[in-house]
Structure 1
Amino acid sequence: MPRKAPGAKAKGLGAQLRVCRENAGLNLRQAAEAVDWDKSTLSRLETGKRNFTVEEVAHLLGVYRVRGALREELLAIARTIDEPGWWDQGLQGLPKESAILAEYESQADRITDWAPLLIPGLLQTMDYSRAWLLSVGADPATVELLLTARLRRQQILHGDVRYVAFVGESALRTPVGDAATSARQLATLREVGKRRNVSIRVVPSAAGPHRGQLGSFLAMEFASAPPVVLVELLRSSVFMDEDKQTGPYLATAAHLAGVALGETESARLIARIQARWSSHDGTEDLA
């Protein structure tokens, strides 16, 4: 049976092995020679373009002199590299980017979401998601598939991942669907924000110029692998895992922490805007 195509797990393992190689003081050519591989083969492994076998990982770890708990952790990942997640089962037609994102999220220890204009996907109600997808021209035949995938992705917030969402005030005030849909969405924000592992902080419109105005992003951090940042484009998504690419986004996240309201102040603002949506008759200005 052919091995499945490399996914986020292979990419994450490759990134961790790249760090191990660099810590061992070896460049790509030296490491490839040490294991008697072509340089291109090792490069494809490190960039997640080729799956690993357990034997290959063990060989590399021996060359890099990796011992103890880290060695066992990386070998365990290699042993389960082909085990499917929910994104591989029963959701035919799910976009590749969505499956990759779900796999990364399932492995992350910390996720930071910056959403200046729209409620973050991991916090969206199904009514809000459906209304937004249909309003931007999504194929109605695929909307329910996307909603099912989003609902499953949201289950990670019931686990141990530390999730921090910076939400622009504009996202709270922009109507998506009818007023009742917006009110329910903000009620959900308040409820999810009470979880011990979730922090929701609003960046007020009055905050003035700040680095986050350049656009939204999702940063995922892992216990023993480099972080991955997702930036969504109009018709595709870009995943970045090199330090020179992810560094500016992580710095922007730290900057947002300095301009956002605290959790308590954010919850109060969300409650006030929710109340106005609840009483909105379609003519009142919510600005």
Structure 2
Amino acid sequence: MISTYVRRLRLAAELLTLRQQRHMSSEALARAAGLPRTTVSRLENARMRPDSGDVIKILDQLGVTGDARTKVVAIASQAGERGWWDATTNVMGARQALCANLEAGATSIREYQMTLLPGLLQTADFAQARASADTADWSAHFDPRRAVEARIERQRLLRRPGGPRYGVVIDELAVRRPAVATSVLRDQLLHIAHHSETDPKITVHLLPVNQRGAGHTVPRSGFSIYTYPDNDPTIVAVDTVTDDLILTKPADVAHYLTLYDRLVEAALSGDQSLRLLRETADTIPQRTGQAA
């Protein structure tokens, strides 16, 4: 599955470039293609699910033929598809549906988690506790149980053949400050340690609270960086209290690429991070009934 969100961005860039190369206004193109001006505008701004018929009308008026036409039609077709997350957006939460969309088809995912442990490495119990607590993402139809099922579905992409490489820098604060019951946190930390040690596609770094980054780098929020094949744009999603801010401008993206590299440089090595995760877990009492 390819990210339909990213494919819409790619389609928008292709259509805008083709129109500007022909020195044609969006109004003139819309009239010639027999389409509302808002349709052309929304396609060029990636603000609608494209109809392949509308895209073909636009290409006809722009005189696009051959391989260039085939490429754009294919992008439009993929951008118009519906992912598994579309059918369950209301019950899983709009923010998680957007994450699932951005993760689809990514070749690499890099994250900085400041206050919570990464969703792609959460246990079902941890995800359940957070889904029940994070009421800001609740809609009228939100279902914490279905939200957990969706998170587990998202995690399958890391195990899929050809799935993305995943790197995460976790602030020590997210490890030390319990965001769930301590017994759940213990299992969660061991779960991250296990995947970090056994899956070569997963890299985990812990950032100590007293560590200085290059230039005294102090991130203001968590963020995720998604890269894709086939010249699709790199996307940055910045975590805010109630929503995710999506950045696509190359200058903005470049800032976060540099920031991530600085965080990795300042963080503990993979082995040191693995050791700290396990040492922290060992200080937390096991659940009642578990073997010592």
What range describes the TM-score normalised by the shorter chain of this pair? 0.7 to 0.9
2:99 aligned residue (101, 126, 130): 101
Seen in structure 2, the aligned counterparts of structure 1 residues 60 and 206 have a Cα distance that, compared at 3 Å, is farther
**1:199-235: CA deviations, max 9, x gaps?**
1111112213643431111121112211222223222
Shift in Å, 1:182: 1.4
Is the 2:116–2:174 Cα contact (8 Å) retained in structure 1? yes
- Aligned to 1:165, the other structure's residue is in SS state strand
Paired with 2:78 and 2:245, the residues of 1 have a C-alpha distance of 25
Q: Confirm whether residue 231 of structure 1 aligns to residue 234 of structure 2.
A: no
Is the 2:236–2:256 Cα contact (8 Å) retained in structure 1? yes
Counterpart of 2:223 in structure 1 is 217
Shift in Å, 1:238: 2.2
Long gaps (5+) in structure 2: none
Aligned residue pairs total 273
Is the 2:106–2:227 Cα contact (8 Å) retained in structure 1? yes
Alignment of 1:258-277 (within 5 A): 258-277=265-284
Calculate the TM-score normalised by the size of structure 2: 0.77
Alignment of 1:84-233 (within 5 A): 84-89=82-87, 92-135=90-133, 142-159=143-160, 160-193=163-196, 194-208=198-212, 210-223=216-229, 224-233=231-240
Shift in Å, 1:60: 4.6
Long gaps (5+) in structure 1: 1-6, 282-287
Calculate the TM-score normalised by the size of structure 1: 0.78
Paired with 1:150 and 1:61, the residues of 2 have a C-alpha distance of 42
Paired with 1:61 and 1:254, the residues of 2 have a C-alpha distance of 45
Paired with 2:66 and 2:282, the residues of 1 have a C-alpha distance of 56
Paired with 1:52 and 1:34, the residues of 2 have a C-alpha distance of 16
Seen in structure 2, the aligned counterparts of structure 1 residues 128 and 198 have a Cα distance that, compared at 3 Å, is same
Identity %: 22
Shift in Å, 1:161: 0.6
